[in-house]
Amino acid sequence: MEATSLPAALELVASGGTGLSPEKRAVLGTSLLLLQRDYRFERVWFWGCIQGVHGAYYIAEGLGPDRAAPRSRLYSLNCLEWSLLPPATEEVVAQAEQLTGRFQGDPSFEYNYTDINAEDVERLSEDGMEPMMKEEARLIATVEQIDREVGIIPRGAFVKTPLGSVSENRNFEGLSLVEAKKLSSYFHFTEPVNLKNKTLLEKADLDPSTDFLDSLEHDIPQGSWTVQLEKGGTVVVLRSLLWLGLTFYHVPMTKQYGYVYFGTGEKNLDLPFML
């Protein structure tokens, strides 16, 4: 969610029982603006917090002119001092998927061979990958996974230019209340997958400038999102059941929207059996 509107945005998603203390909100309000200045980002988003056993990771994302370009990610242990994370590679993401259990809260903590089953150790060794990894690498991969699978935006909030770059839509004034309650009105803010498999007939009614991403209505498993009206019906809130702790909000007929994650960084692999 946007750093400049952080206090108000956190209030809109606070009904889930998670959030930040007043002290943390005040510190973040200042440090994120300094972060934007020092790294010369166009925008800074507060991504959320991954709670470990002995500490928490606070995550921020920096954006440039092209919103579809890879985002710069930073983490902090105290909301004051920020460290830049290297880009997430497919190898790191694949290796992190084999790890289970809570984060420790220590970036230098190393996961040893017992944290990965024998078959995966052998496969990683054959691929030339090191089966031991630091928690910082797992943090990089987890944030990337969550952004890919449940990082979302409302339809029309961004436009794609003929040259392929993506920018914010200045004409976007929010979804109507009727549209805001539909999963089809929200898109995954990542490289589309399902869209490429659609037929020409299915694409005929799509606007290539706004409908260039995958919508939530075809997410697998079905039922992995909850849609609720809160604050007296003035705010639409979507929560992910796949990554528990991911909350998205949108105030219909306004430009206010965003998502934030407060959780343990563990995927709910039991979801298909819970639906």
Q: Has residue 151 been placed in a domain? A: yes
d(C-alpha 26, C-alpha 33), whole Å: 12
Q: What domain count does the chain have? A: 2
Q: Do both 200 and 100 map to the same domain?
A: no
Q: Do both 81 and 199 map to the same domain?
A: yes
Q: 185 is in which domain, residue-wise?
A: 3-85+143-266
Name the amino acid, one letter, at 237.
V
Q: Has residue 275 been placed in a domain? A: no
Q: Do both 153 and 261 map to the same domain?
A: yes
Which pTM was predicted?
0.87
Name the amino acid, one letter, at 214.
D
Mean pLDDT computed over 196-210: 67
Encode pLDDT of 48-72 as tens digits: 999 999 999 999 999 988 888 889 9
Q: Do both 52 and 37 map to the same domain?
A: yes
**Half-sphere exposure for 146 (CA within 13 Å, toward CB):** 31
Q: Has residue 112 been placed in a domain? A: yes
Encode pLDDT of 95-122 as tens digits: 888 888 899 999 999 987 555 555 665 6
Compute the mean pLDDT over every residue in the chain, rounded to the nearest whole number. 86
Q: Has residue 271 been placed in a domain? A: no
Q: Do both 78 and 169 map to the same domain?
A: yes
Q: Has residue 71 been placed in a domain? A: yes
Q: Has residue 94 been placed in a domain? A: yes
Q: Do both 179 and 79 map to the same domain?
A: yes
d(C-alpha 218, C-alpha 236), whole Å: 20
d(C-alpha 150, C-alpha 53), whole Å: 24
Q: Do both 51 and 106 map to the same domain?
A: no
